Each structure stands twice: as C-alpha cells, then as structure tokens.
Amino acid sequence: MPNPPFRQPPTSPLSKPTAAHHGHPHHNHHPSFSSGSSSQHPSRKPSIVELLSSPPPLPVQTPDHDDIHGFSLSRHTSNSSRSSSVMNAAQHASTSGLDWSEIPLKDLTESNKLITINASYSVQKAFETLVTHNLTSIPVLLSSSAKDCLTFDYSDLNTYLLLIMNKISTNDLAIHEIDLPLGSNTTPGTGTDDAKKHELVTQTISRAKRGEEVPVEFIIKLNPKNPFIKFSETDTLFPVVETLGNGVHRIAITDSDNKITGILSQRRLIKYLWENARRFPSLDCHLNSTLQELDLGSSTPISIYEDQLLIDALQKMSHERVSSLAVIDRTRSLIGNISIVDVKHVSTSKNSHLLFKPVLNFISYNLSQKGIEEGQDQFPIFHVNNQSSLGRVIAKLVATQSHRLWVVESSNRNHSNSMSSTNTTSSASSVNNGVGSLTPATVEATLGAVPSSNYTPTEAGRPGKLVGVVTLTDILGLFASAKGKKTDPSFARNQRRGSTSSATRSSFESLMNPASTSASTTAGGGAPNEDIFRKSYVSSQKSDNVFSK
C-alpha cells in the first residue's frame, strides 16, 4: 500500500473525509486485482467492500444537494460530494443534538404492529399466532388489566415439545412459578405446596401428551426465562441498550398508563442504530477495530455435530438456555446453524419424523424451505472471522437480519489447480478474494492436502473451523460500556439457568438494575410467597416502572 491513508481520531468522525474513514492499516480489505481502479485514482479510495462496512449515508434531503449520486456507494462518486453529505448530517445532528443514548424510546415504538394474546390461549393457538404474524415472540396478557405480561416464544414451544417427548425432567423447570388453582388450600413455603405444584405439572404434561389443549400460561411460566422487562416510552435508549447488552432479547415499551404499546428487539434496535450511526458520533469509535482487537464475542460457542439427532439439538438448546447452536462436522468445520425458532418446523405431525434424523437433514430442509419461500437461496451459514471489523460485522448482521455471526478461523488455504490425486481440490481460497486475511495458513493447510481419494464433503469448501460467535448482545453491550456502563453478555443466560431454583427471578432482576432494588423487598397483594416469585410481572405501584428514573 503506497499511500496509507491517515487515520482520524475517533472524536471527530463526522468531519473526516470518508476516504480516510476506513484507513485502518490493520484490516486489509483491498481487492487484490482491481488494478484498474487504483491506477486511475491518485489517492487511495476505499473499496466498495470497505465502504459497505461503514454505516450507510443518512437519507437527508438538502436543497443544495441535488446529486442523488452523492448518497450512492458507487465507486464513481467524488469524495467531495460524499463528504458534503456527511457534513449535512453533522449539521442535522448538531441542531437536534442528541446522541443515541439520549434518544427517547418513544421514537422507536411501532405500536401499529403490536400483537398480543391472552393467557388462556392454547399452546397450539399461541403457536399459530406466531406463525400467522411471522413473529418470534408475543406478549401474553395474564390479566384483563393488560399490565401483567409474560411472553410466548419458540423457547417455550421447544420446552413444551421436549416435555411431551420425555426429553426433559420437571426438575429442569421453574415449577415454583406455577400457580395452584384458587381454593386449593395452599400453605406457602411448605413441602405440600411444592408437591401439589409438581402434581399439577405432571397432570398437565399428561394432558398435553394425550393431545389435549394446554393453556399457554402453563408453559410460559414453567419454562425458565428472563422476565419480560418493561421500559417507559419516555426512557432513553441508554438503559435499554444496557439491558439488551446483558443478554435480554427484547423489551416492552409502556405508555403513561403502563400499557404495553410496543416491543423493541435487539435486532430492530441494532438496525436503527446502524442506519442512523452517522448521527451518533459516539458509535463510530469502534467500527474500524477488529473483533480480536475489541475482544468481542465468545470463544466457546455451543455447537452440535451434524450427525447428531435433531431432538438432541433441541434438548441441548433447552438445557444450555441458548437460542441457537452452530452445526459442525467432526473436524469442527462450520456447516450451518440451528435456531430455537426452527422448532416451528417440527411442531406438527407432518415433519416430526425429522426429530429422529441427523441435524444436517434438518438444516437442508430448513434452507430449502426458506429458499422456496423467498424465491432465492441463501448461503448456508453466516460467518465472519476475528479480523473482521466491527463495522463489517454489524453491516452483515443487519443485512442478513441475524442475531449472531459465527466466527471461523481465517485461513489461507492453498488451492490446487491440478487434478492429480496428491493435491486437494480447493476450498475457500483467499487468493482471488477482495478481502485478504492476515493470519498464517492453518496447520492443516501447510501439512499438505488430503488426497482426493479420501475426499469427503467434510473438507469440501467449508468456511473453516468454528472458533467463536459474536452476537447482538455483545455489540449492544459494547455500546453501553462505551458510555461507561459495564455489561455481562452472559448475564441473562445465567439468570435463565439459575431460575429453576426458588426466589431467584426477582433478585436477579434487581441485580440487573439497581433502580429496582426498592421493588424487590415489597410484595404486591395476594398470597405473599407466590408474589415474591412473580414480582417482576406484578404491576404494583412501586414496581411498575422499575427502570424509570
């Protein structure tokens, strides 16, 4: 690289010309053979791929900027017109003056899209509602006041399925969250109370196995989940990002009457932040850094082998309290991905045979279904490597509408052009790639090729060995910590794992936000013991807006 572009300090992102925006010497996204373009331009322009790893231009309409190509990522747009559009955005931001952390939640409410269901719905009907509206989670109103609220999502359906198939024991569930029917002579805190709950649970499961209807309330209380956190629409994004950065996937937005007016998910929030990133200078500081530099993501992703049975994968997700698993072959090469949402494909008799087939069959089925529905096939797995920039990671997450990207080993596998049996036929080669990789070739590659007679699909063009995962939780947590708030990406998951023991939900919730400590000591009306456990859902006067200032 003859003229390394100089790197702007992160404090003035909006004033730096876009050409230097990604002049990061550490990650090299230069196309290796677009010699045509670089020889024609005296200063090094960022490649298109680099530009796409930066936040999109804002859709600002200014009278003195008719040239629509100023907003284009087309390589033939001049730098000056591009930077002027950025300057216009800066002016816009300075007049409104708000950084992302000060944006009120109300700006993100999409209340016209809110669907809720009643706690008396059957599990089947609740599932059908998810499918009809193409949702992955839905609020369940526990009472007519519409303030008590839990959610039904595919982790509940998964638990329900596994219970029916005798694949999880009731000890793994939050039995104490179940309400005994009124008038059943409860003596709180005694063994008989617990025993009665156990019996109720067992009976209900038997009914489910017989194909009888079971109210959704049963499963959503039984399944160990995080409480459904509510924020007021007057709250700012800052505490929301902090909560989501702790691993919670979505929160409820409430109005001044404490009625739920909308849901904000991690996915929707990251999309909003990315598309508006040029308005928010504080987001810019890490976008050029690599995952490795930021130490972002987990290096112990939870995975399953392609030849294990699907039912084992579902069980693993339930047991580990995670919403997806990487699917790998026996050499740890990444093949695909199973999400808890995929349980919707095996919830009816038509496809239940897939439960006892290898996971790879299920992935094939899923990908095929999706491809037919969308009229186009997707790449089997969405992944990045540790040298990918944060901007690139977010851009890909937003474009693919994913919750996570799997991190694979970056390798410079040599490809062979020979047909002789002593060389491998090639796998993902970086020689012709626009994105170079700076890590040395893997041991396997340097040790030499696999003879083609031993050629198996397990070596065939796989993206590489799975080494980690980066999620929306990690990224939102990074944004929160950039503002001074430490988050723990595994917090919510640990809460789910711990919530099968008694009296933990509300205490964890108070840990999550110090503002709610007052709520954890009071009990609402009714039987005191049960209410301690359900405190997070009960809208007593104090605990209503536990996160309000």
Q: Which residue from 73, 294, 322, 445 is in contact with other proteins, where contact means CB under 8 A?
A: 73
Residues in contact with other proteins, shown as a per-residue x/- string from 9 to 38 under the rule CB under 8 A: ----------------------x-xx-xx-
Q: Which of 463, 468, 489, 524 binds other proteins (CB under 8 A)?
A: 463
Single residue of 462, 465, 493, 535 touching other proteins by CB under 8 A = 462
- Answer yes or no: are the C-beta atoms of 297 and 291 closer than 8 Å: yes
Closest CB 297 distance from other proteins, rounded Å: 18
Q: Give the separation between CA 449 and CA 425, rounded to whole angstroms.
A: 8
Select the span of 110-118, 160-168, 293-301, 534-542 touching other proteins (CB under 8 A).
Answer: 160-168
CB of 190 to other proteins, least distance (A): 35
Alpha-carbon distance of 518 to 544, in angstroms, equals: 11
Of 154, 321, 131, 140, nearest to 217 (Cα)? 140
- Is 218 in contact with 150 (CB distance < 8 Å)? no
How many residues touch other proteins under the rule CB under 8 A: the total is 77
Residue from 39, 42, 68, 210 that binds other proteins (CB under 8 A)?
68
Residue 187, SS3?
coil
To 5 degrees, how large is the angle CA 82–CA 88–CA 93?
130
Minimum CB separation of residue 267 from other proteins in Å reads 13
396 near other proteins (CB under 8 A): yes
Query: Which of 81, 172, 455, 497 lies at the binding interface for other proteins (CB under 8 A)?
Result: 455
Say if CB 397 and CB 405 are below 8 A apart: yes
DSSP bridge partners of 41: none
Interaction between residue 376 and other proteins (CB under 8 A): yes
Beta carbon of residue 26, minimum distance to other proteins (angstroms, whole number): 18
CB of 264 to other proteins, least distance (A): 22
419 binds other proteins (CB under 8 A): yes
* 69 belongs to the binding site for other proteins (CB under 8 A): yes
Among 433, 500, 529, 548, binds other proteins (CB under 8 A): 433
Q: Which of residues 345-364 bind other proteins (CB under 8 A)?
A: 347-350, 352, 360, 363-364
Using the rule CB under 8 A, which residue among 116, 429, 504, 548 binds other proteins? 429
CB of 19: closest distance to other proteins in angstroms? 16
Q: Using the rule CB under 8 A, is 427 a contact of other proteins? A: yes
Smallest distance, other proteins to C-beta of residue 444, A: 16
Task: Choose, by CB under 8 A, the member of 460, 518, 527, 540 that binds other proteins.
Answer: 460
The residue among 469, 458, 465, 520 whose CA lies nearest residue 493 is 469
Report in angstroms how near the CB of residue 464 gets to other proteins at its nearest: 9
- Return the residue matching tokens 């638990």: 159
Q: Judge contact between 30 and 53, C-beta under 8 A.
A: no
Interface residue with other proteins among 52, 114, 135, 441 (CB under 8 A) is: 52
Q: Tokens at residue 275, please? A: 């598309």
Whole-number minimum distance, CB 75 to other proteins, in Å?
7
Kindly tell me which residue out of 111, 426, 504, 507 binds other proteins, with binding defined by CB under 8 A.
Answer: 426
Q: How far is the CB of 428 from other proteins (least distance, A)?
A: 5
In the shown chain, the binding pattern of residues 162 to 181 toward other proteins, with x for contact by CB under 8 A and - for none, equals --x-----------------
Binder among 4, 379, 446, 448 for other proteins (CB under 8 A) = 379
Of 280, 272, 320, 372, the closest CA to residue 162 belongs to 320
Strand partners, 277: none
The reply on whether position 457 binds other proteins by CB under 8 A is yes
Residues 6+ apart with CB under 8 A from 501: none
Task: Give the relative orientation of helices 310-320 and 154-164 as an angle to the nearest 10 degrees.
Answer: 120
Chain-centroid distance, C-alpha 313: 19
Question: DSSP letter at 154?
Answer: H
| Residues whose CB falls within 8 Å of the CB of residue 470, separated by 6 or more in sequence, listed in order | 291, 296, 297, 298, 384, 393, 404, 405, 407
Contact set for other proteins, span 247-276 (CB under 8 A): none
Does residue number 381 form part of the binding site for other proteins (CB under 8 A)?
Answer: yes
Considering only residues 184-223, where is the footprint of other proteins by CB under 8 A? 211
DSSP 404-438: EEEEE----PPP----STTSPPP-S-STT-SS---
Interface segment toward other proteins; rule CB under 8 A; list 240-248, 379-387, 481-489, 526-534: 379-387
Among 12, 143, 202, 400, binds other proteins (CB under 8 A): 400
Cα(373)–Cα(376) distance, integer angstroms: 8
161 binds other proteins (CB under 8 A): yes
Q: Does 475 bind other proteins (CB under 8 A)?
A: no
Binding mask 307-336 for other proteins (x = CB under 8 A): ----------------------------xx
- 204 CB-side CA count, 13 A: 24
Element (H, E) at 230: strand 230-232
Side-by-side strand order, sheet with 149-153 = 117-118, 137-141, 149-153
x/- string (CB under 8 A) for other proteins, residues 106-145? ------------------x--x------------------
Give the residue ranges of DSSP H helices in 134-256: 154-164, 191-209, 216-222, 237-245
Could you give the CA distance from residue 476 to residue 472 in angstroms, rounded to a whole number?
6
Least Cβ distance, residue 327 to other proteins (angstroms): 10
Contact 254, 238 (CB under 8 A): no
- Please report, as a single letter, which amino acid is at residue 68: I
Rg (CA), the chain: 26
